[in-house]
Structure 1
Amino acid sequence: MRTVKDELLFRAVEHTLSGQPIEAAHELASLETLLDVDSVPEDLGYLLFATAVSHRLEGVGVGARNPYLYPHPEEGARQIDLFRLLMTHMPLASAADALANAVLVELLGKRDEATLVDVGIGQGRQEGRLLKALSEQGALPRRLTLVGVDPSGASLAQAEESTAKVAREVGASVRFVGVEAPVESLSESTWSVLRGLPGPRVVNAAFALHHVAEEPGSVGAVRDAVLRRLRALEPSGVVLCEPNTDHFRAPPLERFLNAWKHFTQVFHLLDTLEVPREERAAIKRFFGREVEDVVGTVDESARCERHELAETWMARLKRAGFVPLELLEHVEPEGVHPVLELRREPGLVGLSWKNEVLVAVMGVRPEGARA
């Protein structure tokens, strides 16, 4: 059932998309008078969405840029830096990390030599936790090549430094290879080098592939091409983590409704946790930058957060020549917050709260390869 605040926000969106700026501005102004962000936790969510709608109305969102690479002009922290806070307090992120690493331990553990290609490695914190998990289980590969693919050179430098530090601590032999580029921009020669790295080769992409750039109106041809490239690496397994919502192919109004449903569920989950008020607000603002991209950006070619449903990702993976990775159905990660329910199906574990799958962890292998 919609509240008064819901109705005002939704009407503002409808007026904005139908070319009625005066009416839209009136609805937004009326909504603003009802908000008390300092006292009512849910009101920050309304404010973030209202701001995104306002920016779309004003055309401010025309020149949006990847929030993971550039600071917000009014705040300063990069999205990748706020992501660290998210990993500390948000069970969706930490559970996805734990599930993915449990699979990666099985794929990489106790090998003489192995390669992990991490698409969107960021600052390498997941890899640090992975090395520690491998060490604790006595399963460190004798030699591990870690390929970090990321458009941020600064993040790659931090990833190399942080993984080298953990490797020294646990006695791991790790060779780091940084590739500073979006995965969709890798050259043929780079893909050739990756195909020649020692096996087994394993691919990890945590909340990264929805950033693959697509032309307006595309049905996902570029991300399909990336998945085929990953299939050509002949990996023993590929692990993906992605939000479970459609902010890619859905038209603007439907995309807004999807975003509202997804992010308000995430905000409500966060409000049930014992997280300090300031940090809870910072995490919401992390998601607020994604809301800004999904809802507020006018130029479709500039959008970065092109999320898709898990079933859509699984269909793409199947077309690229992958089949479900059976071991994902059996791993039991430690430390999953009790508020979450794990919904399992072939090749996929959904992280669910109040019967809504908010994040999906997917595991696949090349069709025809040994399980």
Structure 2
Amino acid sequence: MSGFSGGAPDFYTANGYTGRSMGMNNPQGSYPISSASQILHRRHELIGKRSLAEFQSHQQQQQQLGLYLRNVKPRTYQHASPISPLSPVDFSASISPNVSSISSILQQLRPQPIIPPSLLPNRFIKQEQSEKTMMNRLQELEKQLLDDNDDDEADTVSVITNSAWSETIQSLISPSPTSSSSSASVSAPPICPKQTVIEVASAISEGKTEAASEILSRLNQVANVRGNSEQRLSAYMLFALRSKLNPLQYSPPVSELYSKEHASSTELLYEASPCFKLGFMAANLAILEATTNTEKKLHVVDFEIGQGGQYIHLIHALSKKTSTPPFLKITTFADFYGGGEEEERLRSVGDGLIALANKVGVCLNFNVLSLKITDLSLETLGVESNEVLAVNLAFRLYKLPDESVTTENLRDELLRRVKGLFPAVVTVVEQEMNSNTAPFVARVTEVCGYYSALFDSVDATVSRETSERVRIEEGLSRKMANSVACEGRDRVERCEVFGKWRARMGMAGFEPKPLSQHVADSMLARVNSGTRGNPGFTVKEENGGVWFGWMGRTLTVASAWR
């Protein structure tokens, strides 16, 4: 026999039981396990005072303990606890005669009443009865573990496996059905539309069509053309990516960008969004500043007049001049390759502008030409000696293919031809988005971020219930789909950031003509009045241009050149 200090587990030997004390550290020596008096003393501390008959009965039992323990075959449990599969236990240690630890554990498991039963509400009666039943069972279990049950002494070792007690202990240590069901019903993390869009773009660029289709099905779960701005953006990006993945099934828009419907929706956007509307106004102020100190007539050449909305504001501004009766000539183009229906539409726009000019006292001459870019000259444009020339390139350059598409490079060709006209000022208004030569994934990311901010800004100015709002977003969806799904000449939407326009204008021979602080201040005042001081819209003058944005994201930039 040997004794060990510390709390190491008990164990069996071949000839008997040798154990480690679980409750004390005694460096003085060992404690023989066969000493009945010591066992009796320790058990007396655990179970309290007893009657003389009980004491004599247990003394006889302890004298036979040595023989009893020799008849007990050692059991080694290699598996998890039979009480609960969640709590693995080594039962070779659990059945030690040193049962003080077991008694301590069972004492902790006993429910401690806090409120007298007579004061408990009726709804707690059943719970109290259940607790009493459980306490009675635990007391009976404790008696069996402590050999207090004289009639069933031989079952001391196997009492743990009793099914009733297994169920009792299981109810104590197993998680409640409520917590289990709640943990099982934890919903999956919400889908992030922007991140999902990028994942689809990555899968498409890597040729993983099946993976892209599966991710698109996830995006479809949050897409809703009638939802909030994020849900609507998801719906339009869903169509754009499907068009890229299956162009035969989902035909991406190309010719639709030249339709009357699209021109009308674009004009509505220009009027509804301060970032576009104020961009046109900034261009008008730059034109007026360049022609203020001259008695010559103003001649504006516009390569993308649209519905003529920009010139409604310019005509009203000219009507306020008190010197000589203002004169304005506007020259625009059906397209650079001729066109019948387009020319008719533009003449209708001109008739409306002439009617407005006559009403406010401005003399307007409106011309529609059909020329190729290479045919541009002062003579073909009809520029007279008593006219000061201004060229407006608002939202036109980005639609022209550059060197990445064709060797003709119509974008740079137009700039060089315009430079040869020696205009007093050239105004450029463009969307601040890098979607021209960027790789596919970067392009999709840029389009998603840009139009996300644009949709949010439209939310601040146009009610969702109006038909104009629906038409605006239909036009934006066509632009998005063309940016994402089309390549080569079919991709008309080829926007660039202001830094690239500066470089391109410089290569064509232009110098920046910084807009005055007066222009920026005037635009800021209009933002505050037109949007009722909405802090989401921003205006700033930077690097010679006026930047218009929403919540920190620049959407358009207006600049002037000479």
Contact (CA 8 Å) 2:223, 2:233: kept in 1 or not?
A: no
TM-aligned CA distance change 1:13 to 1:140, over 3 Å: farther
- The structure 2 residue matched to 1:31, chosen from 216, 219, 244, is 219
Moved more, 342-351 or 100-109: 100-109
* Aligned equivalent of 1:212: 400
Q: Superposition pairs for residues 265-284 of structure 1, below 5 Å?
A: 265-273=453-461, 275-278=463-466, 279-284=468-473
- The structure 1 residue matched to 2:375, chosen from 175, 188, 196, is 188
* Aligned equivalent of 2:540: 343
- Whether 2:494 is the aligned partner of 1:303: answer no
TM-aligned CA distance change 1:259 to 1:174, over 3 Å: same
Contact (CA 8 Å) 1:293, 1:303: kept in 2 or not?
A: yes
Q: Superposition pairs for residues 1-371 of structure 1, below 5 Å?
A: 3-60=191-248, 64-70=253-259, 78-109=261-292, 111-138=295-322, 142-151=326-335, 152-180=342-370, 185-188=372-375, 192-194=379-381, 196-198=383-385, 199-214=387-402, 216-217=404-405, 221-273=409-461, 275-278=463-466, 279-297=468-486, 299-331=487-519, 332-333=522-523, 335-336=526-527, 337=531, 338=533, 339-365=536-562
SS at match of 2:450: helix
SS at match of 1:362: strand
User: Larger relative contact order (C-alpha < 8 A, sep ≥ 6)?
Assistant: 1
Deviation of residue 145 (structure 1)?
A: 2.1
Partner amino acid, structure 1, of 2:296: D
Deviation of residue 355 (structure 1)?
A: 2.0
CA distance in 1, matches of 2:311, 2:451: 27
**As a proportion of its length, which structure holds more strand?**
1
Task: Give TM-score, length-normalised by structure 1.
Answer: 0.86
* Aligned equivalent of 2:108: none
Moved more, 334-343 or 233-242: 334-343
SS at match of 1:210: helix
CA distance in 2, matches of 1:37, 1:280: 12
Contact (CA 8 Å) 2:346, 2:368: kept in 1 or not?
A: yes
* Aligned equivalent of 2:103: none
TM-aligned CA distance change 1:6 to 1:276, over 3 Å: closer
CA distance in 2, matches of 1:11, 1:58: 17
Deviation of residue 164 (structure 1)?
A: 1.1
Deviation of residue 280 (structure 1)?
A: 3.3
**Alignment root-mean-square deviation, CA:** 2.6
Contact (CA 8 Å) 1:117, 1:146: kept in 2 or not?
A: yes
TM-aligned CA distance change 1:210 to 1:257, over 3 Å: same
Deviation of residue 180 (structure 1)?
A: 3.3
Tell me the alpha carbon deviations over residues 325-344 of structure 1, each in whole angstroms, 9 at most, x when there is no partner.
13444322452244422221
TM-aligned CA distance change 1:13 to 1:139, over 3 Å: farther
Tell me the alpha carbon deviations over residues 175-200 of structure 1, each in whole angstroms, 9 at most, x when there is no partner.
2221235xxx3342656423744431
* Aligned equivalent of 2:155: none
How many pairs align? 354
Contact (CA 8 Å) 2:283, 2:429: kept in 1 or not?
A: yes
CA distance in 2, matches of 1:295, 1:219: 23
Deviation of residue 301 (structure 1)?
A: 1.8
CA distance in 2, matches of 1:55, 1:189: 37
Deviation of residue 140 (structure 1)?
A: 7.1
- Structure 1: give runs of 5+ residues left out of the alignment: 72-77, 366-371
Partner amino acid, structure 2, of 1:50: L
